Amino acid sequence: MTFSIETLGANTLVAVGGQLTINNRGEFKERVLARLAVGDTDFVIDFTEADYIDSSGLGVLVSLSKHIRDAGGRLTLAGLNDDLQRLFALTRLDSLFEIAESRAAALGES
């Protein structure tokens, strides 16, 4: 997995590439929580370049969602491919997360 984090206006954009799995979830969570600790509250996680999330990756997303909500923030997932959309629907996590069709939609761009 590759990922980058940048600030775009009031949002913190986390772009994920490849696979979010048990092997890389720790670093991913640490880096997002570090941004939350310095005051970032509105996060968009863009999965446009991602192709797989395992159960531990889903667990990290649920955990991050709780941390961000507890800090008064917002977490939006964006750019889920068809397989990832089905995964979120089957696990019913689509009701927990705000999911946008694209990065632009999540960031409120036209």
Q: Which residue bears the tokens 């509250």?
A: 41
Question: 110 pLDDT band (50/70/90 cuts)?
Answer: low
Q: Which residue bears the tokens 């649920």?
A: 62
Query: How far apart (Å, rounded) are the C-alpha atoms in residues 30 and 36?
Result: 10
Structural domain includes residue 33: yes
What CATH code is carried by the domain that includes residue 71? 3.30.750.24
Whether pLDDT at 109 is above 90: no
Structural domain includes residue 11: yes
Mean pLDDT of the chain: 96
Q: What is the pTM of this model?
A: 0.95
Could you read off the pLDDT of 15-47 as tens digits, one per residue? Answer: 999 999 999 999 999 999 999 999 999 999 999
Give phi and psi for 40, each to the nearest 5.
-70, 135
Query: How far apart (Å, rounded) are the C-alpha atoms in residues 82 and 41?
Result: 28
Structural domain includes residue 93: yes
Q: Which two tokens stand for residue 52?
A: 């797989």
Count structural domains, the chain: 1
Structural domain includes residue 55: yes
Structural domain includes residue 73: yes
Q: Which domain holds residue 69?
A: 2-104
Structural domain includes residue 100: yes
If one counts every other C-beta atom within 10 angstroms of the C-beta of residue 51, the result is 13
> Quick one: pLDDT at residue 15?
97
Whether pLDDT at 92 is above 80: yes
